[in-house]
Structure 1
Amino acid sequence: MAKKETEEVKKKAPEERPEEPAEEAPQEENLPEPELPQADPWEEKYNSEHDARLRLAAEYDNFRKRTTKEKEQSYGNGKADAVTKMLPIYDNLERALNQPTEDAAFKKGVELTMAELLKIFGSLGVEVFGQVGDAFDPNLHNAVMHLDSEEHDENVITQVFQKGFKVGGKIVRFAMVQVAN
């Protein structure tokens, strides 16, 4: 009876068995199989972390540049403010030099003080402008008087009431002048 059962199993087995993939393989070989890139989770994480680091580095670099610029502006503003507060001293020394005096020692002391102040201005990058004979520039000069004169060219400074000062391209005080028409 064992032989009969094995024969029956052999007969039933091919009918009941599912089709094997070996028979289907020739059909799949005819179709090209698209290769899908396998997304590696570690690679994705690396790329996102790398991008985050690059953005953080760029943000830090921008922060560093911005703070350096702000520091330079703050220093420039402080320097301009200090020069502005010293301008009345300059004006008083200039007036003292223009006054006649018989005391030579006094005059020499005022000249030395003015020379020292101009030396300090030079070390701070202060430029003095507004001389007689210069062309009038409304961006630098404040015309407080006009003079109708044939001996001077038009828009030429004929008299300076107060000199102008610049610190690093920033005008600290406009020159007050008289201009020929």
Structure 2
Amino acid sequence: MRLTRGGKQNAKGAGQEMGGPDKEKLVPPAEGTAVPNGEETAVPKAAEPGPVTEEDRTRSEEGKSAGEGGQEETALAQEDGQRRPDESSLRSQLEAVQAELKSALDQAKEFEERAASLQAERDEWAEKAKIAYEQFLRARSDLDGFRKRTERDLEDRINRGKADLILALLEVLDNFDRALEAAQKTGSAQAEGVQGAYASADSSASGQALQSFIRGVQMIRRQFFETLAREGVEEIPSPVGKPMDPSLHDAVAAQEGGGEHGTVVAELRKGYLYKGMVLRPTRVKVIR
């Protein structure tokens, strides 16, 4: 049985109470042991253990508990010592991760602000581009309209200039028509006067010359009109025997009876169109 220091003292006290103080007893030497001068050697005898008290048991259990508690505390201290470096390392890692996360969040916030700024700038430039494009379209439309008006005005001026010139040339054409009409009447009269057995060679030669003149004038008149036709001039068809059209005809004379009212009975001067428009109306005589 394990005894504490107090237990030993108690045992000693118990021995004293039972037999007084321990005394050395003479024990005969062991066999083969030399004893000088034949004297007996005193060998101390171990004290015999006394009875175990309740107090001894309590102290023994307390010692055991203290020993076990010390071992447990030592194990906990060792475990705590092992755990603490791990917690410190984890805390350092956590702080590093938190710092990186904060830096990443700051960068993300900065990127968001930059993106918002760029988006606003893009929207602003898009609006400016839209306004500029609309202005360009209006300017181009105005330019196209101005060019068309200019071309139309120029064409109108050219056409008016041509029309004025053509009107003057139509007077020359009218003179050709009058000359042909007079020559044809003269030729007809001469032909009637020289008919019969009394026709002379001179009158025959004169008639041939007149016919040659008429053919020459007709050819010149035809070439002259063909030149005008290439510029867009065309004759208004003869309205004789048809109702008068106020947009094409100009009634300058009338006669009583002889047909339906408003019917054209004679063409007094030819009319002409220039590029589909009336350049000069036809002068006519109608039935009143």
TM-score (norm 2): 0.46
Letter in 1 for 2:163: A
Letter in 1 for 2:177: E
What is the CA–CA distance in structure 2 between the aligned matches of 1:41 and 1:175, rounded to whole Å?
68
CA displacement 1:115-162 (0-9 Å, x = unmatched): 112212221221222622232112221211111233x33322111111
In terms of Rg, which structure is larger? 2
Structure 2 counterpart of 1:80: 163
Identity %: 30
Between 1:126-135 and 1:114-123, the stretch displaced more is 126-135
What is the CA–CA distance in structure 2 between the aligned matches of 1:90 and 1:53, rounded to whole Å?
53
Letter in 2 for 1:50: Y
What is the CA–CA distance in structure 2 between the aligned matches of 1:124 and 1:50, rounded to whole Å?
43
Contact (CA 8 Å) 1:130, 1:175: kept in 2 or not?
A: no
What is the CA–CA distance in structure 2 between the aligned matches of 1:56 and 1:138, rounded to whole Å?
45
Q: Which structure is richer in relative contact order (CA contacts within 8 A, separation 6 or more)?
A: 1
Structure 2 counterpart of 1:127: 234
Which of 157, 167, 176 lines up with 1:93 in the alignment? Answer: 176
Structure 2 counterpart of 1:148: 256
Structure 2 counterpart of 1:12: none
- Say whether residues 1:70 and 2:153 are aligned partners: yes
Structure 2 counterpart of 1:16: none
What is the CA–CA distance in structure 2 between the aligned matches of 1:130 and 1:162, rounded to whole Å?
12
List alignment gaps of at least 5 residues for structure 2: 1-118, 188-206
Count matched residues.
144
Letter in 1 for 2:286: V
Bigger strand fraction: 1
Structure 2 counterpart of 1:176: 283
CA displacement 1:20-53 (0-9 Å, x = unmatched): xxxxxxxxxxxxxxxxx95733222222222221
Structure 2 counterpart of 1:159: 266
Contact (CA 8 Å) 1:140, 1:174: kept in 2 or not?
A: yes
Change (3 A) 1:120 1:135: farther
- Say whether residues 1:41 and 2:149 are aligned partners: no
Letter in 1 for 2:229: G
Letter in 2 for 1:135: P
Structure 2 counterpart of 1:50: 133
Bigger helix fraction: 2
Partner of 1:43, secondary structure, is helix
Which of 215, 218, 239 lines up with 1:111 in the alignment? Answer: 218
Partner of 1:138, secondary structure, is coil
What is the CA–CA distance in structure 1 between the aligned matches of 2:282 and 2:138, rounded to whole Å?
49
Letter in 2 for 1:72: E
Letter in 1 for 2:215: K
